[in-house]
Amino acid sequence: MTATEFATVLGDATGPLVSTAEHTLAALSGLGVDNAIVEIDGPEAPIMDGSAAPFVAAIDAVGLRTLDRPRRQIKVLKPVRVAKGDAYGEIRPNPRGFRVEAEIEFEHALIGRQVWAVGVKPETFRREIARARTFGFLRDVTSLWNAGYALGASLENTVVVSDNRILNPEGTRFADEFVRHKVLDAIGDLALAGAPLLGTYRSVRGGHKLNHAVLCALMADASAWTWVEGEMPRPAAAHAEMVSRPVAAFAPDRS
The mean pLDDT value for 79-105 works out to: 97
Structure confidence at residue 24 (pLDDT) = 94
CATH number, domain of 67, equals 3.30.1700.10
Structural domain includes residue 188: yes
C-alpha triplet 148, 176, 166: angle, nearest 5°:
55
29 inside domain: yes
Position 123 pLDDT exceeds 70: yes
pLDDT in the model for residue 13: 31
Domains identified in the chain, total number: 1
Confidence of residue 204 (pLDDT cuts 50, 70, 90): very high
**Does residue 117 form part of some domain?**
yes
Q: Is the pLDDT of residue 136 over 80?
A: yes
Decide: pTM greater than 0.85.
Answer: no
Q: Measured between alpha carbons, how far is 184 from 188 in angstroms, rounded to an integer? A: 6
Beta-carbon count within 10 A of 219 CB: 15
Residue 34 within a domain? yes
Q: Is residue 33 part of a domain?
A: yes
> Could you report the per-residue pLDDT of 146-186, keeping only the tens digit for each?
777 666 678 888 999 998 999 999 999 999 999 999 999 99
* Minimum mean pLDDT range among 26-30, 39-43, 241-245: 241-245
pLDDT of 47: 87
Catalytic residue positions, numbered: 208
Range of the domain at 16: 3-242
Please determine, for residue 2, whether its predicted confidence score (pLDDT) is greater than 50: no
Q: Which residues contact 192 (CB under 8 A, 6 or more apart)?
A: 1, 3, 6, 25, 212, 215
Q: Is residue 252 part of a domain?
A: no
In a domain, 129, yes or no: yes
- Whether 249 is covered by a domain: the verdict is no
